[in-house]
Chains A and B, each alone.
Chain A
Amino acid sequence: MLLCVAVAIVRMKDLLAVVMLLGVYGLLSASFFVTMDAVDVAFTEASVGAGISTVLMLTTIAMTGRNESAPPYKHLLALVLVVMTGALLVYGTMDMPYFGFAEAPANLHVAPRYIQDSMAEVGVPNLVTAVLASYRGFDTFGEVMVIFTAGLGVLALLGLAKPPKDGDAEIDLLHDKLHEQHLVLRVVCKMLIPFILLFALYVQFHGDFGPGGGFQAGVIFAAAIILYGMLFGLSTARRVINQPLVLLLSGIGAMLYGMVGVVSMLKGGDFLDYSVLLSDPIAGQHLGILLIELGVGITVASVMVIIFFNFAGRIEYLQRKRSRDKQG
């Protein structure tokens, strides 16, 4: 299945279909991850790979047009290189331990401690969260900074100095137009959005116990806002979402994560050593993980919103420019 979809993606010329297939691909790999017992990864893949990135690519297509122009010449050398790389990868798998092999080095060295002792040392039932937020918490801090960087990067390239401000009359006009086009969608979504937000909060705070955590929750939370922006128009969404504030929030989320680390340093531990946060090490770990997951959630959600608003804002800007050119 995955292979079929991948081949189809490469062969297709209609970019809209390609994006849709990419979404399918994301969802398929998510289910693939579920069968491999990597539920948290599947969750992330489903929300990011199949969800947000599809939306972002659709907005890009809205700007660039939906047909792929044929390449001027065929890159034979590139094909040879790709085939060689692929062959090398297959060659490398030949000596790999079988999937699920209990004696594989990956299962014998570091992992047993994560599995056996994380409950006693970190005290959260979801051991993925224990590894991600505590044992390797510094990597996760790095990842949050990667996302923050991505948000800043988009802003640096696409950011408009002043987003157009619409008067009430224009917003009403836009409302009527959208209302006619997407009546059913709008009604359904209006009912769904509160539940999506609630679900995001559940995923956020339940990450210690079940699959979930800041990354997934942030994306889901952002999805609700993006949905609103798509169906009710950017100007309406801008009234609810204050963009400079969202930018500030993306920084604050990252700072929150870092500050937990700094506080643990001030309390005499190493950076991100949550055990020293409270007198009881396990309670300290709980508090630390709760706070950093919150930081992750805030940053992820606000960066997703920033990226969407700037992509979509660009379309709006181009449309307005075009209509102004026509008039002028």
Chain B
Amino acid sequence: MLAHLPVLQVIVPLLAAPSCLIIKRPVLVWMFTLMVSGAAFLISIALLQQVLASGTISYEMGGWAPPWGIEYRIDELNAILLLIISAISTVVLLAAQTSITAEISEDRHTIFYALYLLSLAGMLGIVSTGDAFNVFVFLEISSLSAYAMIAMGQGRRALWASYQYLIMGTIGATFILISIGLMYQMTGTLNMADLADRLPQVANTKTVLVAFAFFIVGVCLKLALFPLHMWLPNAYSYAPSIVTAFFAATSTKVALYLLIRFTFSVFGYSFSFTTLPLQELFLGLGLLGIFIASAAAIYQTNLKHLFAYSSVAQIGYMIVGFSVGTSAGLMATLLHVFNHALIKGALFLALGAVMYRVNSVQLNDFKGLARQMPLTMAAIVVGGLSLIGVPLTVGFVSKWYLVMAVLDNGWWPVAVLILLGSLLAIVYVWKIVEVAYFIDPEPGTPQVSEAPMALLVPVWLLVAGNIYFGIDTRLGVQMAQSAAQSLFGGSP
């Protein structure tokens, strides 16, 4: 069975989704979903070990050798992403049952979990596959289920947010499909490794250039790079809390993975960084994203909105790391992907706990909350510190490596700007702390108690991850380093 791990990683959650309809009873379905996600997590650990021990794994679907058949191809980069996605999904699911009983009517729980599994399988599928068209198919699975889950949020604004995301996401997916079609026209293959072999021969054609442009724009829509981020704040704010925690930690990372995979492994480093002014473009947009989104975050009164804008800013950091164009820069980006998943997973899950008790995440309702829900608020504070990049948290580690990578290139103004961006993060995190700790609750507001254990345990698991990987940096750094180096192959 060990040889089948790559495909099991995806089909276990994929086939579990229709099984939910057979089980029907919401509580059982939740336990089943949790088990499936846990299994996916174990598989991803085993896969990572296999990759580290024996190098890239290739799996031939249907027994047809690539490029005729579809290939699954797992190297360090994929394995890390698989681990992040399935780990976050499992932790978030621990809290799911408690949180969604408060937010979604019970007759829709079964469908919710089936969609959740589909979304999980979709993301895992995008990351595992070595076939460009297969990427699109799984992108559709994960996106469609995402639109539906976001629309299940409370109130009509969730529908509008989901609709916005649907339009933007569909444009992004169509652009990616157009790009894949153009690449097929010029090379006659859909397999990524095969594309990488054959694209250089036709690299000077207008068609390949256009394919590249469409791909970049499409994928940037999906990863919510400033200024294509308009869909993200609303989608994150009005979705059910569980969905927000899951997506904020994973979905933009999957798009970022696609960007890295296609620029480095398919189009190739030299093509990607020379034909279009990609480096300058991404550096500019990344920095703009950091400042404008952080500034926007300061003015938000809805905390989900606030952290959603902060996510856009964090994507800016990742893109800056990418634009450095060195192994060190890419490593900083990958490290931040891992760390940001931990940070935002913890923060949004903690907001889910607040939502459960207070039924609101407006800043006004946070007055004096630190005394009523001390553990939840402490989690938000630690998450916030990590977001700023305070030493001993994961946020510090990735910013440190990012600044080092930028300085290595002699871009010291960029390094200064990155540090200034962190100052903005201090402002918006302090805003929350001030309200929750130093302002007395308005008289007449009902007292609330601490969130239930079912929510606190997953929140603190993620918070502990924030601290643990902030102190013991070996694991994260090593994985990111080896993935970045393998992407650069022999080149600098």
Contacts and interface: CB of A to CB of B under 8 A. Distances in A.
| A and B held together in a complex | yes
B15 interface: yes
Nearest to B118: A149
Contacts of A97: 185-186
B144 A149 contact: yes
A149 B64 contact: no
Nearest to B148: A153
Interface string A213-256: 00000000000000000000000000000000001101110110
Contacts of B125: 142
A44 interface: no
B69 interface: yes
B17 interface: yes
B61 A152 contact: no
Nearest to A107: B188
A139 B63 contact: no
Interface in B452-485: none
Contacts of A247: 21
A149 B115 contact: yes
A138 B198 contact: no
Given A105-B202, A106-B188, A89 B115 contact: no
Interface stretch (B106-114, B379-387, B440-448): B106-114
Interface stretch (A65-73, A154-162, A180-188, A192-200): A154-162
Contacts of A106: 184-185, 187-188
Contacts of B133: 136, 139
Q: Which of A105, A107, A156 has the most CB of B within 10 A?
A: A156
Contact of A138 (B18, B22, B61, B211): B61
B300 interface: no
A153 B142 CA distance: 12
A161 B109 CA distance: 12
Interface string A135-156: 1111100110110111011011
B290 interface: no
Contacts of A145: 14, 17, 118, 121, 141
B62 interface: yes
Nearest to A157: B151
B202 A153 contact: no
Tell me the dominant secondary structure on chain B's binding face: helix
B67 A258 contact: no
Contacts of A92: 182, 206-207, 209-211
Interface stretch (A10-18, A167-175, A266-274, A311-319): A266-274
B103 interface: no
Contacts of A275: 63
B189 interface: yes
Contacts of A142: 125, 134, 137-138, 140-141
Contacts of A261: 11
A146 B137 contact: yes
A88 interface: yes
B151 A137 contact: no
A104 B207 CA distance: 13
Contacts of A150: 144
Given A91-B206, A138-B70, A110 B4 contact: no
A119 to B, nearest CB: 15
A54 interface: no
B209 to A, nearest CB: 7
A152 B115 contact: yes
Given A255-B19, A272-B61, A105 B148 contact: no
B67 to A, nearest CB: 5
Nearest to A148: B18
Nearest to B191: A110
Contacts of B292: none
A38 interface: no
Q: Which of B59, B105, B118 has the most CB of A within 10 A?
A: B118
Contact of B15 (A143, A250, A255): A255
Contacts of B67: 109-110
B18 A272 contact: no
A88 B148 CA distance: 32
A108 interface: yes
Nearest to B217: A85
Q: Which of B21, B133, B152, B187 has the most CB of A within 10 A?
A: B21
B42 interface: no
A157 B141 contact: no
Contact of B63 (A94, A152, A258, A273): A273
Interface of A: 88-89, 91-97, 104-111, 113-114, 134-139, 142-143, 145-146, 148-150, 152-153, 155-157, 159, 161, 247-248, 250-252, 254-255, 258-259, 261-262, 265, 269-276
Given A149-B141, A155-B111, 10 more contacts: A89-B178, A110-B190, A135-B64, A135-B68, A148-B17, A148-B118, A152-B118, A157-B148, A248-B22, A271-B62
